Structure 1
Amino acid sequence: MSADKRKPVLVIGLGRFGSAVATTLERMGHEVLGADVSAELVQGHAEGLTQVVEADCTDFTCLQRLGAAEFESAVVGIGSDIEASVLTVLALTDLGVPNIWAKATNEKHGRILERTGAHHVVYPESRMGERVARLLNERLMDFIDFGDNYGIAKLAAPAPVVGLPLMTSDCRKRFDVTVVGVKREGEDFIHAVPDTLILPGDVLVISGHIEQIEAFAAMD
């Protein structure tokens, strides 16, 4: 989608999470209306966002005046003030915003947000903690958790598969993971096929259930 067709997004709460969302959306070509009760945060984003306002978005009337009902997507990045977070989601729901994303600090907060009307709830601190824990495994270089206990990982090729073509190592049957591709230093990414040979120093991209990925990465 070209930048000029990317729809505006309302981002409420310009702390670390909200500001990261807002500035990334701007780089992607979206127009962003950022809002926060802090004059200091608003001033700090005055040059970086399409528009930024100091506003109490827990107030339905305030959101009406900001034109929140005209946005198809809104992100509520308020985390520390749970009451403000919930009231803001409720007001956006009452305005009929069809796509509401909200940050939650814990599962209880998340359940309240969902019942209040949030369509998507994210747990950035929890997710980052899990990600760091997994990446402490020296072979795991990157990891994406897709939910439902399924993920994709980038890792150094474990010893049991080095020197073998994929059809021989039979990763899917023996280890219950799928090798999606291989990256060698100085070469282009290789999409994996049965006769792809795994060499020392290769980096693999694999998919599968998280427990199997972790077990595969830990093999010597």
Structure 2
Amino acid sequence: MADSTRFDRGSRSAGATARSGKDSGVLVIGLGRFGSSIASTLDGLGQDVLAVERSPELVAQWSGRVPLVEADATNPEALDQLGARDFPVAVVGVGSYLEASVLITGNLVDLGTPQIWAKAISNEHARILQRIGAHHVVLPEADAGARVAHLVSGKMLDYIEVEDGFTIVKMRPPRETQGFTIAQTKIRERYGVTVVGVKSPGQDFVYAEPDTRISPDDLLVVSGHADLLERFAARP
């Protein structure tokens, strides 16, 4: 193993994951706030994950908490040594340093990684990552800002934009729907959105059926185009 690559033996599966060769798991590069959140969440869910970080300080901070290796991922030889080509999914959490982000993403493209998720800090950064081969580009601050804007503007309690404007929201039911069944409200016909499910206080979530009755204290999970959902959520 080269000097630039050091496995954290204290992590419960770092070495085994990197050398498994079983074509499974997620490689997370960069243990800043974005990368560390992804790595720790995946590890907590029982997923095979290996974090890669070049900073000794961050390696020390996360040692024993997630499977990790200290390495410089801008060096293609280091990535090859830690078995990066065996991971079907890689997340590039290095966003603040444009050159490093581009080099790491390019290295993963050269390795033939099937799915590359990369963090970007601007639209220009995102375009560069897409052009060199990143399959999914995430702009965490912009996405979070847009999400909060939707939440503070109406009765929406949660907001997830999936793709091309298609969105899923959690919201309080408008007054005109309360006490009526899904069929009676004609929500889809009138507003172009679909009630996916209903969560009543103290009850399990249920998928919406035509005879599902909406109560004032219910929470609705609704899908549709963002503009149509905004219109529906704006109802008193």
Tell me the TM-score normalized by structure 2. 0.85
138 and 84 in structure 1: CA distance in 2 versus 1, 3 angstrom threshold: same
Cα deviations by residue, 1:21-50 (Å, 9 ceiling, x for unpaired): 111111122232211221111111111112
Equivalent residue runs for 1:11-50 within 5 Å: 11-50=28-67
**Which residue of structure 1 aligns with residue 222 of structure 2?**
206
Equivalent residue runs for 1:12-161 within 5 Å: 12-50=29-67, 52-161=68-177
CA distance in 2, matches of 1:46, 1:30: 18
Kept after mapping to 2: 8 A contact 1:152/1:207: yes
Letter in 2 for 1:78: V
**Which residue of structure 2 aligns with residue 180 of structure 1?**
196
How far is the alpha carbon of 1:12 from its aligned partner?
Answer: 0.8
**Which residue of structure 1 aligns with residue 27 of structure 2?**
10
The answer to whether 1:218 aligns with 2:234 is yes
Tell me the TM-score normalized by structure 1. 0.91
RMSD: 1.7
Range with greater deviation from structure 2 (75-84 or 114-123): 114-123
CA distance in 2, matches of 1:112, 1:211: 29
How far is the alpha carbon of 1:195 from its aligned partner?
Answer: 2.3
CA distance in 2, matches of 1:181, 1:68: 40
Kept after mapping to 2: 8 A contact 1:6/1:30: no
CA distance in 1, matches of 2:24, 2:44: 13
CA distance in 2, matches of 1:135, 1:123: 18
CA distance in 2, matches of 1:185, 1:145: 26
CA distance in 1, matches of 2:130, 2:138: 11
How far is the alpha carbon of 1:177 from its aligned partner?
Answer: 1.1
Secondary structure in 2 aligned to 1:131?
helix
Range with greater deviation from structure 2 (80-89 or 159-168): 159-168
- Where structure 2 has 5 or more consecutive residues not aligned to the other structure, the ranges are 1-21
CA distance in 2, matches of 1:196, 1:168: 10
